[in-house]
Amino acid sequence: MLRSKNKLAYMPQARIHPDRSLGWLRRLWPLVAAHRLLLVIGITGGLIALGTQVAVPAVIGRAIDIAGDNFLAGDDSPGELIRLVWVLVALGVARFIFSAAFRYSLFKLAFRIDSELRTLIYEHLGKLSFSYYDRTQSGDVISRANSDIRSIQIFFSFAPIAVISVLTFIFAFTLMLTIHVPLALVTMCTMPAVHYFGMRFRRTVFPLSWITQARMAEVAGIVDENVNGTRVVKSFAAEKQQIRVLSKAAQRLRWAATATVEARARFNPLIEALPRISLVLVLLYGGWLAIEGQVSIGTLVAFNAYVIMLQLPFRLIGFLLTQGQRAAASAKRIYEVLDEEPAIVDAEDALPLDDCHGEVRFENVWFTYPREWTSEDTKNTVNSNSLNGDSDTLGNNSLSNGEVDVNSAVNIRETTPVLRGVDLTIQPGETVALVGVTGCGKSTIARLVARFYDVDSGVVRLDGHDVRNLQLESLRSRVGIVFDEPFLFSESLADNIAYGCPEATRDEVIAAATAAQIHEFINELPDGYDTVVGERGYTLSGGQRQRVALARVLLERPSVLILDDATSAVDVHVEAAIHAALHEHLQGRTTILISHRLSTIELADRVVLMRDGKIATQGTHAELMATDPSYAQILTDTGITDEPGVATRTDLARENH
């Protein structure tokens, strides 16, 4: 079954705040506010559950005092005690219900944010221009879209619990003040030390969290490259070499992760243990007050229960600080992607290209590929020691104080133009072959027509329109490109062929596959067109992948067809059959051929010879062979030869007559 086009199962209800000067939580607030109902239910449930929790010790203390008074008075009637028991049962049931509502709502909110962030980052990655991917490792992007978002989800799952525990602390301490002020102050004697160590912990963990996430992305990038390039690795027997590369990256990750654990091991026990000292002091001082008759036994029991409640926030504060700093570092890495502005966007008054005749014109076009490296490419350098995984840097002042230069950037821009004042006009329905040595700018011509990049100066026009003034979706639906390294999705062959036209019928898919000379091969497969190809289509040969990609573009019926070495991996005899079919498909369609095969060049009405980013000469193949010795020399230097048994344009014309 072919996929429906432009249908998304779920779209985010909000975006992150665009103001980059705000903190990471404030920038994320619009996503949280979009689900305010879950937030309100969760907070309300949490507060009510908190109230029931704080009320329990007071009821228990009251019951103990009543029982003691009754015992001393010789009264054995259980009336008041039974009423208090039912109150405790009601409080327990209420706490169960509202705690469940609290946890369910806020966990659901956390996973909603997780889902929307993933959708936002994936949607934004689809908008980013080729220049972004030219300088970004896929493993780094995958890490940000997975582990970094997961860190934020974990924070939102457990941070509300920690917040409620802090409120528990406030309410419990307030009740303690109403019971006995000096005894309540004794419980707070260790708070200044807790605050001091908590702040030191925060300053240490944030830079370590940033480094850890960056090095996780580095490892993910290496794994991604090795999985995708496994054929190259195995062909060079370079497994051990790649293991060493991964081992070094893993050691750097281990250092950062170990440093984080060491920081937690130093500070968390202190943060959790200090409040326990308060408990000892409360028992000592409170016991003396009870002996002196200044407080009742029930009051002391209730007071001790509140002291235990005060300890919960301190048991969670270490976890919360760790997850908070990790989430903050992860959020900043995610925002770096979401804040990246696409280099290629629609103009405000962009026009749709409804009726395209296919005239392509380059007017004094100059172009240079942008190459930029940011702080991410320098692996978020802290200092030379930390990058080498030197554990001694854990005690370095710049590290413990959190002075990590995560915003440092090195910008390098390529200064050598690829195209130098190119002037070229291709008439509607004309087939033009671009010829030249590697790096002369042939493929760049194709990328500029589809506006994968913008020119530095000059104009690229399609039907007289500057491509920068056309809607991108409209433009690219009219320009079809087949690259020499086609990408296939891990789906059925029918879905791959119909990728650009998901509404196409099976007969239309078969017709396109037949023109690309892949129909017979597909029919021989056990599942035919429903056969699912492996990742990137590697279960097929290079020539088969190219033919599937060619069928995919032919099915779309673009007004401008660009074949960039699209049959380089195809057998010359199969290519001859493809050319025979293409001869019909190219009629009335503007076609740009980039090839290192003479048989493909022979299909062209005109040959354009490029040299050093300029157009050196142009004409028919026969004219250039007869009049320009440099043309023949370039054909020889680039390995373009006339293979025996391959149909030329002259042969095809003769057959049609």
Residue 512, domain member (yes or no)? yes
Residue 397 CA to residue 389 CA, distance in Å, equals 16
- The more confident residue out of 414 and 527 is 527
Confidence of residue 5 (pLDDT cuts 50, 70, 90): very low
| Cα 644 to chain centroid, rounded | 49
Q: Are residues 319 and 462 in the same domain?
A: no
Q: Are residues 85 and 227 in the same domain?
A: yes
For residues 328 and 445, state if they share a domain.
no
Q: Which residues pair with 592 in a beta bridge?
A: 432, 562
Query: Which strands sit side by side in the sheet containing 479-482, from one edge to the other?
Result: 479-482, 560-564, 590-594, 431-435, 606-611, 614-619
Where a domain ends, among 338, 362, 387?
338
* Max Cα distance, the chain (Å): 127
CB distance 316 to 165 below 8 Å? yes
Q: Rounded distance, CA 518 to CA 529, Å?
A: 11
Half-sphere exposure of 189 (CA within 13 A, CB side): 14
Q: CA-to-CA distance for 594 and 434, rounded, in angstroms?
A: 5
| Pair 325, 469 in one domain | no
Q: 330 and 437: one domain?
A: no
Using CB atoms within 10 Å of the CB of residue 10, give its burial: 0 to 12 exposed, 13 to 18 middle, 19+ buried: exposed
Confidence tier at 460 by pLDDT (50, 70, 90): very high
What tokens does 75 get? 């009264």
Same domain, 263 and 118: yes
How far is Cα 282 from Cα 299, in angstroms, rounded to an integer? 12
Does some domain include residue 454? yes
Instruction: Please tell me whether residue 457 adopts helix, strand or coil conformation.
Output: strand
Instruction: Return the CATH number at 491.
Output: 3.40.50.300
Interior angle at CA 625, CA 620 and CA 630, nearest 5: 115
Out of 314, 338, 362, a domain closes at: 338
Residue 11: is its pLDDT beyond 80?
Answer: no
Asked whether residue 111 falls in the same domain as residue 247, the answer is yes
329 and 455 in a common domain: no
Phi/psi class of residue 487: alpha, beta or left (left: φ > 0; alpha: ψ in -120 to 50)?
A: beta
Q: Could you tell me if residue 377 is inside a domain?
A: no
Q: Which domain holds residue 635?
A: 423-656
Provide the pLDDT for residue 469: 93
Tell me if 439 is assigned to some domain.
yes
Reading across the β-sheet that carries 457-462, which strands appear in turn? 419-426, 360-367, 457-462, 465-466
Flag whether the pTM goes above 0.95: no
Question: Which tens digit of pLDDT belongs to each residue from 318-377?
Answer: 667 777 878 888 888 899 889 988 888 888 889 988 888 889 999 999 999 876 533 333
Residue 376 maps to a domain: no
Residue 398 lies in a domain: no
Q: What mean pLDDT comes out for the span 229-249?
A: 75
pLDDT at 174 over 90: no
Q: Cα separation of 317 and 198, whole Å?
A: 8
Point out which residues pair with 608 in neighbouring strands: 434, 618
Same domain? For 464 and 320 the reply is: no
Place of tokens 């993933």: 118
Total domain count for the chain?
2
Spatial CA neighbour of 601 closest among 628, 641, 636: 641
Whether residue 316 sits in one domain with residue 205: yes
Query: Are residues 333 and 427 both part of a single domain?
Result: no
User: Do 430 and 310 have their domain in common?
Assistant: no
Residue 511's CB: how many other CB atoms inside 10 A? 16
pLDDT exceeds cutoff 50 at 548:
yes
Residue ending a domain, choose from 316, 338, 360 = 338
pLDDT level of residue 633 (50, 70, 90 thresholds): confident
Q: Judge whether 371 lies within some domain.
A: no
Q: Average the pLDDT over each of 148-152, 166-170, 310-314 and give the range with the smallest value.
A: 310-314
Report pLDDT digits (tens) over 282-329: 778 878 887 877 777 777 777 777 777 776 676 666 667 777 878 888
Let me know if residue 478 belongs to a domain: yes
Percent of the chain at pLDDT > 70 equals 82
Mean pLDDT of 482-497: 86
CATH code, domain with 81 = 1.20.1560.10
Burial of residue 508 (CB within 10 Å: 0-12, 13-18, 19+) is middle
CA-closest candidate to residue 553, choices 497, 515, 476, 472: 497
